[in-house]
Structure 1
Amino acid sequence: MDEQSRLTSRFEEHRSHLRAVSYRMLGSLSEAEDAVQEAWLRLNRADTGDVENLGGWLTTVVARVCLNMLRARETRREDSLETYGASPSAGREEAVDPEQEAVLADSVGLALLVVLDRLTPAERLAFVLHDLFAVPFEDIAPMLDRTPAATRQLASRARRRVKGAPPAPEADPARRRRVVDAFLSATRGGDFEALVALLHPDVVLRADPSVVPSPAPVLISGAVTVARGAMAAMQRARATRPALVGGAAGLVMAPLGRLFLVLRFTIEDGLITEIDVVAEPERLRALDLAVLDA
């Protein structure tokens, strides 16, 4: 057997595992196959003579490829939010047998895939690799340019979301109010650096479709990305006021006295980790609101 045939044989031993990792990361069989193919191409270009654990090496490669693909999705979503365009997934055609994908989705659990799609790319990578494939945090951390401890926190936050448990809220109402007031002040004043400083590096912003508008809810993540989106809405911020949203400090936008949208915040350790932009009429009517003094 020549060297190329030997390499092909060794790769095929790991193909099913790599596809399983990729599918749970991406939720799309066609994209998972693309990621596995990219791993194969990189294997062919690399010198793996000294690699003792080829399976681990390939898992790292395919995880990095998937992470880049997920981040590219986030960039398209960000462009959609800033330009008031359509959903990035609209019109995308899958070149995969729908029946084959349905079988794979059923084996993974469709509900899990839906929940995973709500995670940030970094959360998804940490959770999938550690919780579903038992990859140590020490091996995952370099993929994310994080420490093992920070990677563990990412997986923990993802785990809470997957299980439906709410994140630990900021317990001090006065501290929470200061963070929300600072967010509003930085947005109104166009102070990008101050805004980024208030946001957790992996902050997630979710917006109702009518905010953009778009065919589906918008999700963007990352402090810089979310801050950039807030800067794009700087003029709207002038019609925004502090409010109690369900008894916790938040923001309401009501130009000419007509309620347009509400911003609900999740704050942990003095940093904003989640922003929920509520604009659908039925969701607005369900909120308990009380305007605060600015």
Structure 2
Amino acid sequence: MPVLFAEKKPSLNNKEFKNIFEKHYLRVYRLLTCFLSNRSTAEDIAQETFLRFYLTPPRDFDNVGGWLTQVAKNLAFNYLHREKSRAVRESHLELPLITEPELRLEEEEEKNVISQALHSLSERDRVCLTLRLSGMSYSEIAQAIEVKETSVGTILARAKERFKAEYLKLKGRDD
């Protein structure tokens, strides 16, 4: 059956793409670094995010930042899911465990506690906190997590409290 009315995809020239990349890359990269706690993986997924944007841009360019954030978030969660599945498969192979060095820097320990506390939160809380820390406005956050803008402040406040409680629990203090 022939297509009578084909939807026209928005075209994107190299200059427009470069401007969008320069405007949004750092925020997307920071978001992914917070989610994944791995700079190299964050760079790879940020690159994949912008490649998808270049190859199949959104129909509407009104909120490019929100579109990029949503794609980056989805790619990060897919990556984490694959890694979790891989870890489960490998655990069944009875591979010898690789032990960490006995002496770890305080900074590495702190990063691990923060990462654990962040990953113990619900997806919405984790995304909301990470987006805010990456510099997104309440309006952009509201669009990314699909809630009313007036709800973002309350969601952030509660997410911060949950994060603080989990962080203190992991550190061994119940303040």
Cα gap change, 1:44 to 1:67, in 2 (>3 Å)? same
Corresponding residue for residue 169 of structure 2: 164
Deviation readout 1:170-222 (Å, 9 max, x if unpaired): xxxxxxxxxxxxxxxxxxxxxxxxxxxxxxxxxxxxxxxxxxxxxxxxxxxxx
> Among residues 103, 123, 126, which one is paired with 2:124 in the alignment?
126
Aligned equivalents of 1:56, 1:11: Cα separation in 2: 13
Q: Distance in 2 between matches of 1:120 and 1:128?
A: 6
Deviation at 1:62, TM superposition (A): 0.9
Deviation at residue 75 of structure 1 after TM alignment = 1.1
CA RMSD of aligned residues (A): 3.5
**Higher RCO, Cα 8 Å, sep 6+:** 2
Q: 5 Å matches for 1:256-271?
A: none
Evaluate the alpha carbon distance shift between residue 138 and residue 84 of structure 1 in structure 2; reply closer, same or farther with a 3 A threshold.
farther
Q: 1:6 to 1:125 in 2, by over 3 A?
A: same
Aligned partner of 2:68 in structure 1 is 58
Indicate if the aligned counterparts of 1:35 and 1:62 stay in contact, CA closer than 8 A: yes
CA distance in 2, matches of 1:113, 1:127: 18
Unpaired stretches in structure 1, ≥5 consecutive residues: 91-108, 143-150, 167-294
Q: Which amino acid aligns with 1:17?
A: R
In 2, Cα distance between equivalents of 1:33 and 1:124: 24
Deviations 1:108-149 (A, max 9, x none): x7455312443686847534421232364773379xxxxxxx
After superposition, where does 1:94-133 map in structure 2 within 5 Å? Answer: 110-111=108-109, 113-118=111-116, 123=121, 125-133=123-131
Q: Aligned pair in 2 of structure 1 residues 82, 67: CA closer, same or farther (>3 Å)?
A: same
Cα drift, residue 165 of structure 1? 6.7
Q: Report Cα offsets for 1:29-78 as digits up to 9, x if no partner.
A: 11010011000111012232413111111111111111111112211221
State the partner residue of 1:194: none
Alignment partners' CA distance in 2, 1:78 and 1:157? 28
Q: Deviating runs (4+, > 6 A) in structure 1?
A: none
Letter of the structure 2 residue corresponding to residue 163 of structure 1: L
Are residues 1:83 and 2:93 paired?
yes
Q: Distance in 2 between matches of 1:74 and 1:41?
A: 25
The secondary structure found in structure 2 opposite 1:47 is: coil
Structure 2 gaps, min length 5 = 1-11, 99-106, 133-137, 148-154
- Percent of aligned pairs sharing the same letter: 20
- More helix, by proportion: 2
Number of aligned pairs?
137
Instruction: Give the equivalent residue in structure 1 for 2:56.
Output: 46
| Alignment-derived partner of residue 265 in structure 1 | none
Structure possessing the higher radius of gyration over alpha carbons:
1
> Mapping of 1:210-229 within 5 angstroms?
none
